[in-house]
């Protein structure tokens, strides 16, 4: 048993400072699979090492996507390892051979969690979801289903289901993204409105959005040059708006 702090320090550097210099990287399989099962930030950090073992050393992890799906909780939009997690999630969901029900479950869960996410995370995850639709056209039924549920209680999607194949995501629709089209932040509302139109074939580059912070978003808004906003739509005729009042006789607005 390792302290949580030590687990994190090791896993942060494992994929680029330890595994490449080992004669037998497969010796780390047990350590990484145990770390992956711990949950929380430790599981997110273990993804890097597991990806290398799966991609380069033919590691078989039967329930990998089920576990990855279970990592999607409200904290993923707030943890400081968010950029690393979504970069790897993008890689794991890039294969066109993944079944539609699996990708639909990820899309639906990310959308549901997005309802409570901060704006800087939404500006990243909405293009991320759009990219998943581009890679997996069979999932576009989630957007184009006309008779979606009128409220959350009628949604067939089962959020609490741990098995993606049983979540009934393909039977649902993305009412969550439609809700985000009324978001208080105009950039988020604009990004969510993209799904109302036909998506282009070229994927959005989300690499620059992964590290987006609330400070950068605020700084960007502050530096915007606002257009002149008219405060009165009718020309005033007297001191208090009345043409022939007593104040207009003694005071002029020139």
Is the residue at 4 inside a domain? no
Report pLDDT for 114: 92
Mean pLDDT value across residues 223-235: 70
**Average pLDDT of 165-177?**
88
Determine, yes or no, domain membership for 145: yes
The domain total for the chain is 1
In a domain, 37, yes or no: no
- The lowest-confidence range among 11-15, 104-108, 113-117 is 11-15
Q: Which range of residues forms the domain containing residue 189?
A: 63-251
Is 33 part of a structural domain of the chain?
no
Confidence of residue 103 (pLDDT cuts 50, 70, 90): very high
pLDDT digits (tens, 9 = 90+) for 118-163: 998 999 999 999 999 988 888 888 887 755 555 566 788 888 888 8
Residue 67, pLDDT above cutoff 60: yes
Phi-psi region of 183 (alpha: psi -120 to 50; beta: other; left: phi over 0): beta
Q: Is residue 244 part of a domain?
A: yes
Three-point CA angle 40, 45, 50, nearest 5° = 115
Query: Given a cut of 70, is residue 38 above it in pLDDT?
Result: yes
Residue 12 covered by a domain:
no
**Residue 172 lies inside a defined structural domain of this protein:** yes
């Amino acid at each position: 048993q390792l302290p949580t702090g030590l687990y994190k320090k090791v896993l942060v550097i494992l994929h680029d400072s330890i595994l490449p210099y080992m004669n037998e990287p497969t010796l780390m399989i047990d350590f990484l699979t145990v770390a992956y099962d711990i949950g929380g930030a430790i599981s997110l950090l273990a993804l890097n090492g597991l990806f290398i073992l799966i991609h380069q050393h033919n590691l078989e992890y039967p329930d990998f996507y089920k576990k990855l799906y279970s990592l999607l909780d409200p904290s993923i939009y707030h943890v400081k390892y968010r950029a690393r997690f979504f970069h790897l999630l993008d890689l794991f969901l890039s294969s066109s051979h993944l079944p539609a029900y699996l990708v639909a479950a990820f899309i639906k869960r990310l959308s549901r969690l997005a309802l409570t996410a901060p704006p800087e995370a939404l500006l990243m995850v909405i293009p991320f979801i759009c990219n998943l639709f581009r890679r997996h056209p069979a999932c576009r039924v989630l957007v184009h289903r006309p008779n979606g549920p009128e409220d959350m209680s009628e949604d067939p999607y089962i959020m609490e289901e741990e098995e993606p194949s049983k979540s009934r995501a393909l039977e649902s629709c993305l009412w969550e993204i439609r809700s985000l089209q009324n978001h208080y932040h105009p950039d988020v509302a604009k990004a969510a409105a993209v799904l109302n139109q036909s998506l282009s074939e070229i994927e959005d580059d989300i690499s620059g959005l992964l590290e987006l912070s609330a400070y950068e978003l605020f700084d960007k808004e502050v530096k915007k040059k606002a257009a002149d906003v008219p405060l009165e739509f009718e020309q005033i005729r007297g001191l208090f708006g009345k043409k022939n009042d007593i104040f207009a006789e003694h005071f002029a607005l020139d």
